[in-house]
Amino acid sequence: MSNQAKVKICSVGKYIPEKILTNEDLTEWLDTSDEWISSRTGIKQRHISTTENTSDLGTKAAENALANSGVDVSEIGLIIVATMSPDSQSPSVACKVQANIQAINAIAFDLNAACSGFVYASSVAEKMLSVSSYRYALVIGAEVMSKVVNWSDRSTAVLFGDGAGAMLLERNDHTQSFINEDIHADGSRGSALTSGESSVQNPLTPEKETDAHLKMSGRDIFDFVVRSVPKSINDVVEKSQLQLEDVDYFLLHQANARLIKAVSKKLKQPLDKFPQNIQHYGNTSAASIPILLEELIENGDIQLGNNQTIVLTGFGGGLAWGSLLIKL
Amino acid sequence: MSTFETIQEIIVDQLDKEKEEVQLNTNFREELEADSLDLFQIINDIEDEFDIKIETEEGLNTVQDIVKYVDEQLA
């Protein structure tokens, strides 16, 4: 093992399935309305996969990140996929992506921290890469949430969408993108958001029905986010010996535009420092932050190598939440 | 500041209303057009301000309802 090196973000990529469901489309089978959904969530539409599974989305996002970098896939030593909607328990989505992109030298595994998955996975990948012998790591957030939501529950079905984002990291001697982190979990409040419940079922157990659909307690999650997210952001900025004013952008998990507004208000930071794309994609769980990052780089708001200060903050099921302060 | 004045200030701030619009008999949903997320936010601020826990928003329809709830918790 070599000495601890620096880790920088080289490139990002995204992939969004083509099919769009507007709020209006949902009213065909749900008692809801565009006005209700957009005023309470900011969501106007979401992309829904019709045939592609999580590994397909993750693979295409990874291919886009790689195409943007010019890196030889054989130099990738690690692939982590953050997901709560894998194709299967085994093989992992990460192993499928590894096969699809032919990254034959990479170890690969999935990480589930629900909507905080990308923040968790980036933190893990950065640490593994910094002490490794390989040069590149891929961190992917990929979700087909349309598989796990209950399409007859209007309080949750309207919120989620499918998509994937990927980020390529490079071990190097000069540039450290990851400045500080503040990451937490509180399993004691885990029942506020559950999904994919799998109870004990074998010839020895009495039959019981399990509802594996995603279920959420809106107020508990709201309280959690409004209290924990501003604190996490404050803490990661303080640890970095910076002020909130020094941060160019706060990239929050895109769960709800009203939540983002509440966090911006609590931090007394202007809302335009909290970029949003939730109106187009809904809540894509672990994929939301890398998709947003890709779009900000694509449209030039964030320029790699320009030394901008960015905070990435994920929050959701677990409960798990956390912030990364990065320099790009 | 009285419980009412503190709560009035929170509501004015969260809903972007004038003080005069927020009186004891004001109904959140009907007169202030507050939705469930607005109520969560108001309750959240009130909990932090008074260091109490408001278990459910059910039954809290007017400013008076909340003032009464908070005063009972503080008693």
B35 lies within 8 A of chain A by CB: yes
**A90-94, A322-326, B28-32, B62-66: which has the minimum mean pLDDT?**
B28-32
Residue A136: is its pLDDT beyond 80? yes
Q: Cα torsion for A180, A182, A183, A184, to the nearest 10°?
A: 170
Query: Residue A208: beta bridge partners?
Result: none
Would you call A222 and B41 a contact, using CB atoms and an 8 Å cutoff? Answer: yes
Structure confidence at residue A210 (pLDDT): 82
Residue A4: is its pLDDT beyond 90? no
Q: Cα torsion for A292, A296, A302, A304, to the nearest 10°?
A: 80
- Among residues A178, A117, A125, A181, the alpha carbon closest in space to that of A328 is found at A178
Structure confidence at residue A2 (pLDDT): 47
User: Quick one: average pLDDT of A272-301?
Assistant: 97
B chain contacts of residue A40, beta-carbon cutoff 8 Å = 35-37
Choice among A64, A95, A115, A280 that is catalytic: A115
Would you call B37 and A258 a contact, using CB atoms and an 8 Å cutoff? Answer: yes
Q: What are A118-128's pLDDT values in tens digits?
A: 999 999 999 99
Confidence of residue A94 (pLDDT cuts 50, 70, 90): very high
Structure confidence at residue A3 (pLDDT): 59
A77 in helix, strand or coil?
A: strand
B43 by Cβ neighbours in 10 Å (0-12 / 13-18 / 19+) ranks as buried
Residue A170: is its pLDDT beyond 90? yes
State the average pLDDT for chain A: 95
User: Quick one: average pLDDT of A225-239?
Assistant: 97
Residue A161 amino acid letter: G
Give yes or no: A10 in active site: no
User: Could you tell me what percent of chain A has a pLDDT over 70?
Assistant: 99
B40 lies within 8 A of chain A by CB: yes
Q: What are A138-154's pLDDT values in tens digits?
A: 999 999 999 999 999 99
